[in-house]
Amino acid sequence: MKRLCTDLKIIAIFEEVKARAQELYPQQFNDCTIDLVVRETRKQLGSCTLSMQNSPTKATSAKHRTAEIAISKYLVGEEAIRKVLIHELGHFVAPDHHHSAIWKERADKIGEKWEIVCHTRASLQESFSFRANLPAPKINPTAPNYVLVCQQCGQIIVRHRRSKLVKHPNGFRCGKCGGSFKLLTNAKQ
């Protein structure tokens, strides 16, 4: 089972790591959409699924790249979350390279800022088996129902109710940078 991530801590870390990746490899971020999802699995720490689609905005034959970056909901702690997200964004900036030297070089370059060195799945799996014995973290009952993220600067806005911004995110611009918002929700529509 998967759903869009609405955990503020994970989103904040993701936006930081994504900003760093974009700074280093801007060409990989042209005409693309990235969804961050949470999975109820103990078998995989994270994953990055890339696909190409016809551009929704442009009438040209240029392909729009979409990525789904997934993270296990059983990961505990900021560092573990950051590690997995750096690993997966490494795949995003090194498409088709799997766990090659190019993937490693780019992922490590992203991780440098936090002194994180990336490992392949096998060694990540080790760190996971230790956590696999822990019970699933409880879902915070006071978590906001709606989370909006600026697609440009990563600013996060939370709303507990279905406000105007939640109803019409496209009608608003980010106060910091003028970017557009993406709505993430865990409320029943």
Task: Please say which residue, 4 or 153, places its beta carbon nearer to Zn ion.
Answer: 153
Measure CA 78 to chain center: 14
Give me the helix-helix angle, 121-131 and 78-93, nearest 10°: 160
Closest CB 18 distance from Zn ion, rounded Å: 13
Closest CB 28 distance from Zn ion, rounded Å: 16
Task: Please say which residue, 49 or 152, places its beta carbon nearer to Zn ion.
Answer: 152
Closest CB 47 distance from Zn ion, rounded Å: 8
Amino acid letter for position 1: M
Which two three-digit tokens encode residue 78?
């900021």
Cβ atoms of 136 and 74 within 8 Å: the answer is yes
Task: Please say which residue, 37 or 153, places its beta carbon nearer to Zn ion.
Answer: 153
Task: Please say which residue, 52 or 177, places its beta carbon nearer to Zn ion.
Answer: 177
Closest CB 54 distance from Zn ion, rounded Å: 27
Cβ atoms of 6 and 186 within 8 Å: the answer is yes
Closest CB 40 distance from Zn ion, rounded Å: 20
Task: Please say which residue, 63 or 121, places its beta carbon nearer to Zn ion.
Answer: 121
Which residues sit at the interface with Zn ion, rule CB under 5 A?
150, 152-153, 155, 174, 176-177, 179
